[in-house]
Structure 1
Amino acid sequence: MDPSEYRPASGEIPTQAGVYRFRDEDRRVLYVGKAKNLRQRLNSYFADPAGLHPRTFRMVHSASSVEWTVVTTEVEALQLEWTWIREFSPRFNVMFRDDKSYPYLAITTQDRVPRVYVTRGKRRQGVTYFGPFGQAWAIRESLDQLLRVFPVRTCTSGVFKRAERSGRPCLLGYIGKCAAPCVGRVSEDEHRDLVRGITDFMSGSTGTMISSRKKEMAAAAADLDYEHAARLRDQIQALETVLAKNAVVLSMNVDCDIFALHLDELEAAVQVFHVRGGRIRGERGWIVERLEGTTRGELTSDYLRQAYGDVAPEAVPPEVLVDVGPDDRASMEEWLRERRGGSRVTLRVPERGEKKALLDTVRQNAEQSLVLHRTRRASDLTTRSEALREVHELLGLDEPPLRIECIDNSHTQGQDVVGSLIVFEDGLPKKRDYRHFSVRGEAARDDTSAMYDVVSRRFSRYLESLASDEPDERFGYRPSLLLVDGGPSQVSAARRALDDLGLAGIAVAGLAKRLEEVWLPGDDYPTVFPRSSEGLYLLQRIRDEAHRFAISFHRKKRAATAKTSALDAIPGLGPARRKALLKQFGSVARIRKASVEDLQAAEGVGAALAATIHEGLKEGAAQDDS
């Protein structure tokens, strides 16, 4: 829809801070944003739509209405914006998702007799969570050690009630890993003291607990109460075992969370280390689809809200370290302060010291997390099957796209035009079938001509292979889908080339990089894949691989051209003598440094020509410097 049709009058829009929503014709929320000045921000969407970023341009043309809500402060706007993003999952907002399911240590503090357990499930009210932890086995081993010191109930409600009725505790009660409040061995208040102990320990009060037990053990030994001293010794060993599982990373006894972001062309990964008492107590990661034009500062704001939007106040540390500061640092710090219950939170980027070194480690983990995510996604058979099914159905193909070929062109301002052909079979690259094409003459005048040329040459070889007694292993296979990098004009050129060869049965589609839209021949509008579509992800991978392959060949060709370009303009220097000079000196740079006498060492170069070469290269260097 034309944005001018639903643009509100400027005077109707308030100038206060607020949150706005763009909706489509079906009243679905497409985008949620916040602003210090609603009038100024919303007018920017309508003043010059042609000057908008492509993603924003597409959003305002997909919408049919815009509405807003005024709030008192920027912090309220920040909170309301995030609430609506979680509620509506707007298509044009950045949405993070956990890169894996993390285990937490949970304590049902609101229960009459609280229970401690390890969980990966959805968070519930009335439950205190610690973590997340990198591995489930690590927190289970830690919990096993903690139960030796704080024998808190771990059983389910059904087991607990059955023990109450029967008057007999479960096995953990018999072996001393549960205080057995179900049968009255300890009172509910005494059991809550144990729960408070494990909560304090997980919150970071480790040094005090161990030192107080050491003093108590020494006093018991002095009073000859060796049995009590032995129990305290075992408790100290158990607590120290739990601490040993958490590496000391900071010499200072500080509490902080450290975030780092790693990006590639399609996605971004966020990793966080939760440091308590100078030790890593947990880690977590998210993966997000990278929307073109989204800045690192905007992504920082988004993942901080994701990390702290649904946590208890005690889960927000007094210091948050990031590799790139958010665009709205002041309001983000204020929002974090409110999330922490009014206590101050410092948000900063470490520049030196051990915190900077730990940030570098977190960044390396984010990079590895993204590599692992993409590897698993590409190699998973179920995921690939789902991707191929989506491409088959959404593009209306006559057959499953078991073999997809993609063609991309690369050039520098129309010079050194090259084409690349890459092949994916069953959703995986088949690199032995990759091919390069050099585009020359009239075919190199523009992108559509180059696309027509490369498609024609590739499938002419296919037709030649069909007519031959010995099929061409390089070009003798027919793809189920030909994907081109580009929009309607490139798709039309590829379709025309196939039709001219009598290959109307081969399906063609184009993926436009800037808007990530899939175009089919003759369609006025693109086919839109869902944002989280495995099919779109597969097409993006194929397109990006073709682009990478084309760029690598183009760079080699450009380097080879540049190697002799300076010699081309020298009169009287033909191909044979240029080759002789390069053989003698190795590069144009060395030829340029050679004297007239040195140049004569090359085969076929006399004194007069050597002087011409020396002067010509000297003039060329002066022009380059100017």
Structure 2
Amino acid sequence: MNLKDKAKLLPQSPGIYIMRDSLNNIIYVGKSKNLRKRVYSYFIKSNNVTSKVEKLMKNIKDFQYICTDTELEALLLECTFIKYIKPQYNRLMKNYERYVYIQIDIEDQYPIIKLSSEIIEDNSLYYGPFINYNRIFKFLEGLNEILPLIKCNNYLKEKITCINYAMGKCEGPCIKNVSSKEYKKHINKVINFFHGEKDLIKELEKFMKEYSETLEFEKAKIFKDYIDVFNSVFKEYKHILRLNNYNKFIIIDYIKNSIFKVIFINNHNIEYVDTINMNNMDKKDLEEYFKNIYFKFYLINNKESKNIVTKEFIDYVHIIFSY
């Protein structure tokens, strides 16, 4: 049986499909609400096929599938496969090595805001992980435009000021021209941004308005771009904060008729999955059912957690909160 005919026999249910090459290596993992429709589409000639799909199709020698009850389960299963197998043709999630954290060593006399690829067991504050490296680089660039932050790595070794001081973009901590207390006020503005305050965005808007009023539209456009970046970073980090604040929750996902999937998530992990039929349960039964889940997982299984979302779980986080 050829692969096109095999695809016609797939169930019309949610799940993931696993593409293999001639050496039986997994080269692609995908998910779909309808496995038959999605996998069959690969074997239909089309003028809209991308070069990536063309290369993939030339290398597919077989495929398998795993059915799930709901689309959410398919999304999470796909994410898990891609994270650990890293198939050749999956590009959405396999490059999480590029994800970055913003690191602030608050115990330093004059903290530097920098990027880090890992969370280290130190006394620094870490924000992230952020998906788009270039966006975060642009975010730091915007910070340096509106705050007189340290921009060089040798500020404690040097006893003379650099060009940033001459341009008014640094207050000269290298020559003790600013106290640690005063300098940390700038750092606190960044920390407050990641805790929900938008004063930095208002500062950018002020600069954009000033340049617009003086007809310096190119400079105004630069600050408009910074505003867009800051808003994107703010929104992205809210996803992380939500998971940190609510690390235990239940998802009730509709399957069909009166059948629902119950998923309990604790500290970014699925700890309990069940299927219930509402037709077989009255109000009292439902109350007792969820009371038992609460007692078992919220109270007895109340593990302490640092609530730090790692870069390996960031796609998982976005799936949960965008579902």
The answer, yes or no, to whether TM exceeds 0.5 is no
- Which category of TM-score, normalised to the shorter sequence, fits these structures? 0.3 to 0.5
Structure ID, larger Rg: 1
With structure 1 as the length reference, what TM-score do the two structures score? 0.24
With structure 2 as the length reference, what TM-score do the two structures score? 0.41
